[in-house]
């Protein structure tokens, strides 16, 4: 294995960090190993404000369905707002910067009023009750955060659908969750121009379904259709609401939200997170991994439609009483200096983004960071995909001035918060390496065949061998899928353990590097896409007989989408460019722009075993231009491999 350089933590920074060195890290991890429940019980008491204390830390009797902090009562919106009012009522909770440069600073007291009014609106005008599902299809505006916290306040379960998803995708998610309310906006602004969301909601609801009411935040004031008795203006209704709303008293294990994510098969699954365990880990990881201090300003550039936005724009920062930045626009608009201008202006201390954004900012504005004063930065974070060495180097040197730790945080929708990550004051970092499991997380790379820890340099499965508080509680409406998806592949000491779906490897110092998905999930610009979903969309084209989608390395996106398509009539395609456009339009309609294919090959057939299984490994190798190492002689039609290879090479 190639030896990676090591970067030690900044000594000055480490002096005041919450975890100051590796000894302190090991002490915490040892505490968790020796007394797992004691460890989590201690932090749950220290970090959360309970209305009633919990009586049991963890109940594994129905494993892998696990309960945390039973008996405990709390409300997540109070954790994020009310309990800070004594000390921080005039502190900025959210700093919002709009696409066009418009700004809002929302203090904790204002947040309290806004969320309470919103909660009253949902409860009193729409009749939303505890346990009801509310879909949020919103741009990156403060009302999106209010909507989340208002749901939490009244015990409704929110399900945010990323604003880039199509009407079809939105409809599927609304129906799967059986949501009775959708909260949306007319639209918002991108690159100084209005774009629309409400028409997408109209299309998603065109055939009826469970939704009774739609609440529309008027952001860009463009013309939209209003359906009488269904659609209501937030801007109008909110004015009439009382400024206080009693928070629903929730059990620790009451669901907080659903977030749909892609799996290797079938439709996206509704990942369920529950109240106490999720908010505890959101707060703890904010404190440990970003080391946010009282006067700091934290900016996570994700969209609230993804888990990163849930945990590190809204819940984590607010649970710890920090100041969080929310940005509506595009990081490269009006130029690739936009984020650095914002860092200078707001004196941002921790900046968290995805490698794909770093690559784009690097490419489009290599020297932009030098034009701004970035001295406020202390910690830089990355998430969503492995970070490549050139992007890492530029981020470290040009953005961080070679003095900020880069925390390469590895986690997933299902884990709720970080699971493997450096600690900025303690961990000597190696570029592209997520380093070690966080204290309390029993992360191990296991050999799926034996359940043993793999040797140094051997790729194994990234697993978590003990349940942890913020783990996924279920796949909405599908218990079997939950068990099969996460607890079906690896057993340790005879017990199924949580498998992330990722491969990983230890180096000679025990550092963990994530090597990527082992299933048919691909990672496009840090967004998780199931190849099965894209294939299902392509199959909607009446002339498509067969299709196989694989990932292919992409300079900016990390992975691009590569489709091999076999048409029903074998006359060949008269105009491949036109056909590809038609297919991409179908994908846009079924899923959204994020899933359109970068490459399409109209192949005469696909490599299959005699039992009809498509050999994706061969297709992946061809897409990457790599040699095929597998024996192809046993395929149904071995000649097809060469034909496809020739087609791909000549493209």
- 525 annotated as a binding-site residue: yes
| Residue 437, marked binder | no
User: Smallest distance, Å, CB 284 to ligand PRX?
Assistant: 16
Residue number with CB closer to ligand PRX (318 or 383): 383
- What is the closest distance, in whole angstroms, from the C-beta atom of residue 421 to ligand PRX in the complex? 8
* Residue 385 marked as a ligand binder: yes
- Least Å distance, CB 401 to ligand PRX, is 22
Residue 58 or 549 having the CB closest to ligand PRX:
549
| Residue 209: half-sphere exposure toward Cβ, Cα within 13 Å | 26
Q: Is 390 annotated as a binding residue?
A: no
Task: Identify which of residues 112 and 257 has a Cβ nearer to ligand PRX in the complex.
Answer: 257
Closer by beta carbon to ligand PRX, 170 or else 383: 383
| Least distance to ligand PRX, CB of residue 486, Å | 12
Residues in touch with ligand PRX (CB under 6 A) = 261, 307-308, 383-386, 408-413, 434, 500-502, 514, 517, 523, 528
Least distance from ligand PRX to the Cβ atom of residue 536, Å: 19
Is 544 annotated among the ligand-binding residues?
yes
Give the nearer residue to ligand PRX in terms of CB position, either 198 or 269.
269
Dist CA 420 CA 409 (whole Å): 6
Q: How many CA atoms lie within 13 A of 278 on its CB side?
A: 33
How far apart CA 518 and CA 114 sit, in angstroms, is 44
What are 155's two structure tokens?
């015990």
CA distance 391 to 327: 22
Cβ 415 to ligand PRX shortest distance, Å: 8
> Looking at beta carbons only, is 79 or 412 nearer to ligand PRX?
412
Check the annotation: does 190 bind a ligand. Answer: yes
Which residues, 6+ apart, have CB-to-CB distance to 8 below 8 Å? 428
Q: Which is nearer to ligand PRX, 358 or 514 (CB)?
A: 514
Question: Is 431 marked as a binding-site residue?
Answer: no
CA pair distance 621, 626, nearest whole angstrom = 5
* Least distance from ligand PRX to the Cβ atom of residue 526, Å: 6
Please, what is the minimum distance in Å from the beta carbon of residue 485 to ligand PRX?
12
Smaller CB distance to ligand PRX: residue 237 or 300? 300
Q: Residue with structure tokens 């349940």?
A: 467
Contact yes or no for 521/531 (Cβ under 8 A): yes
Q: How far is the CB of 107 from ligand PRX (least distance, A)?
A: 29
Residue 92 phi/psi, 5-degree rounding, is -70, 125
Which residue(s) pair with 521 in the sheet? 530
42 carries a ligand binding annotation = no
Separation of first and last alpha carbons in the chain: 34
Identify whether the C-beta of residue 66 lies closer than 8 Å to the C-beta of residue 467: yes
What does residue 608 show for φ and ψ, rounded to 5 degrees?
-135, 155
Q: Closer CB to ligand PRX, residue 365 or residue 501?
A: 501
Three-state SS at 11: helix
Residue 251 labeled ligand binder: no
Phi, psi of 303 (to 5 degrees): -100, 145
Considering the complex, what minimum distance in angstroms separates the CB of residue 408 from ligand PRX?
5
User: Hunting for tokens 């179908």 — which residue is that?
Assistant: 586
Alpha helices in 415-495 (DSSP H): 479-487
Comparing CB distances to ligand PRX, the nearer of 133 and 269 is 269
Does the annotation list 528 as a binding residue?
yes
Q: Are 435 and 429 in contact (CB under 8 A)?
A: yes
Query: Which is nearest to 337 in space by CA: 303, 301, 366, 305?
Result: 366
State yes or no: 386 annotated in a binding site.
Answer: yes
- Smallest distance from ligand PRX to CB 278, Å: 14
Give the Cα separation of 575 and 317 in Å (integer).
Answer: 52
Q: What is the DSSP string of 100-111?
A: TS-EEEEEHHHH
The H or E element spanning position 88 is helix 85-88
Report d(CA 159, CA 304) in Å as an integer. Answer: 11
Cis-peptide, bond into residue 334, ω within 30° of zero: yes
CA dihedral angle for residue 140, residue 141, residue 143, residue 146, rounded to 10 degrees = 60
H helices of 265-346, where? 275-285, 307-309, 316-319, 338-346
Nearest Cα residue to 411 out of 437, 450, 387: 437
The nearer residue to ligand PRX, 74 or 524, going by C-beta atoms, is: 524
Nearest approach, Cβ of 512 to ligand PRX (angstroms)?
10
Shortest distance, position 531 Cβ to ligand PRX, whole Å:
14
Does the annotation place 285 within a ligand binding site?
Answer: no
Residue closer to ligand PRX, measured from CB, 84 or 552: 552
Least distance (Å) from ligand PRX to the CB of residue 427?
A: 14
Going 110 to 112 to 118 to 120, the CA torsion angle's sign is: negative
What is the Cα–Cα distance from 143 to 304, expressed in whole angstroms?
11
**Is residue 308 a known part of a binding site?**
yes
Q: By Cβ distance, which residue is nearest to ligand PRX?
A: 413
User: Does residue 281 come out as left (phi exceeding 0), alpha (psi in the -120 to 50 range) or beta?
Assistant: alpha
Report the interhelical angle of 22-34 vs 36-47 (nearest 10°).
110
State the greatest distance between any 2 C-alpha atoms of the chain, in Å, as a whole number: 74
- DSSP letter for 9, please: P
φ and ψ of 88, to 5 deg: -130, 25
| Sheet hosting strand 231-233, strand order edge to edge | 231-233, 213-217, 181-185, 133-137, 157-160, 255-261, 269-274, 474-475
Is 453 assigned a ligand-binding role in the annotation?
Answer: no
Rounded to 5 degrees, φ, ψ at 516 are 115, 175
Residue closer to ligand PRX, measured from CB, 241 or 500: 500
Give the residue with the Cβ less far from ligand PRX, 119 or 326.
Answer: 326
Binding residues for CoA: 190-193, 308, 525
Binding residues for ATP: 384-386, 502, 517, 528
Binding residues for Mg(2+): 541, 544
Binding residues: 190-193, 308, 384-386, 502, 517, 525, 528, 541, 544
């Amino acid at each position: 294995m190639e030896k990676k350089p090591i970067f030690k933590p900044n000594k000055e920074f480490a002096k005041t960090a919450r975890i100051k060195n590796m000894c302190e890290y090991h002490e915490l991890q040892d505490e968790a190993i020796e007394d797992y429940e004691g460890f989590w019980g201690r932090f749950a008491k220290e970090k959360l404000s309970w209305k009633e204390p919990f009586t049991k830390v963890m109940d594994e009797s129905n494993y892998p369905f696990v309960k945390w902090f039973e008996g405990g009562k709390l409300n997540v919106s109070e954790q994020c707002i009310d309990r800070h009012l004594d000390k921080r009522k005039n502190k900025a909770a959210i700093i919002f910067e709009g696409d066009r440069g418009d700004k809002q600073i929302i203090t904790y007291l204002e947040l309290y009023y806004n969320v309470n009014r919103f909660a009253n609106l949902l409860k009193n005008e729409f009749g939303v009750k505890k346990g009801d599902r509310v879909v949020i299809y919103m741009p990156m505006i403060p009302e999106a955060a209010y909507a989340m916290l208002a749901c939490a306040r009244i015990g409704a379960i929110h399900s945010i659908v990323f604003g880039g998803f199509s009407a079809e995708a939105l409809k599927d998610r609304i129906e799967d969750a059986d949501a009775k309310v959708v909260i949306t906006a007319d639209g918002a602004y991108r690159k100084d121009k209005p774009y629309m969301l409400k028409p997408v909601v109209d299309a998603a609801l065109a055939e009826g379904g469970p939704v009774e009411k739609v609440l529309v935040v008027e952001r860009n004031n463009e013309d939209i259709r209003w359906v009488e008795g269904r659609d209501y203006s937030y801007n109008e209704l909110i004015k009439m609401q009382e400024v206080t709303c009693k928070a629903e008293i929730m059990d620790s294990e009451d669901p907080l939200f659903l977030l749909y994510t892609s799996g290797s098969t079938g439709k996206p699954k509704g990942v369920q997170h529950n109240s106490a365990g999720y908010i505890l880990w959101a707060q703890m990881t904010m404190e440990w991994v970003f080391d946010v201090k009282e006067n700091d300003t934290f900016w996570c550039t994700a969209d609230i439609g993804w888990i990163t936005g849930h945990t590190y724009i809204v819940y984590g920062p607010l649970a710890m009483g920090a100041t969080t930045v929310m940005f509506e626009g595009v990081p490269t608009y009006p130029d690739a200096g936009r984020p650095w201008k914002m860092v200078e202006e707001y004196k941002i201390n921790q900046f968290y983004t995805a490698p794909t954004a770093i690559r784009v900012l690097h490419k489009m504005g290599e020297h932009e960071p030098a034009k701004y004063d970035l001295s406020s930065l202390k910690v830089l974070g990355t998430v969503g995909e492995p970070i490549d060495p050139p992007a890492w180097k530029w981020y470290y040197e040009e953005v961080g001035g070679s003095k900020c730790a880069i925390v390469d945080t590895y986690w997933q929708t299902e884990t709720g918060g970080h699971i493997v990550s450096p600690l900025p004051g303690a961990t000597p970092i190696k570029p592209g390496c997520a380093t070690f499991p966080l204290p309390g997380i029993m992360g191990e790379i296991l050999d799926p065949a034996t359940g043993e820890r793999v040797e140094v340099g051997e790729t194994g499965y990234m697993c978590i061998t003990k349940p942890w508080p913020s783990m996924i509680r279920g796949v909405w409406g599908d218990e079997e899928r939950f068990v099969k998806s996460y607890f079906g592949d690896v057993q340790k000491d005879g017990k199924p353990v949580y498998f992330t779906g990722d491969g990983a490897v230890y180096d000679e110092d025990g550092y963990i590097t994530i090597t990527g998905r082992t299933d048919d999930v691909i990672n496009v610009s840090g967004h998780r896409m199931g190849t099965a979903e894209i294939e299902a969309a392509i199959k909607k084209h009446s002339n498509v007989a067969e299709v196989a989608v694989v990932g292919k390395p992409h300079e900016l996106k990390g992975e691009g989408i590569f489709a091999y398509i076999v048409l029903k009539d074998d006359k060949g395609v008269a105009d491949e460019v036109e056909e590809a456009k038609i297919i991409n339009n179908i994908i846009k309609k079924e899923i959204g722009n994020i899933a359109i294919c970068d490459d399409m090959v109209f192949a005469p057939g696909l490599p299959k075993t005699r039992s009809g299984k498509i050999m994706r490994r061969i297709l992946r190798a061809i897409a990457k231009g790599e040699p095929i190492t597998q024996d192809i002689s046993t395929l149904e039609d071995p000649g097809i491999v060469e034909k496809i290879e020739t087609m791909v090479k000549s493209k």
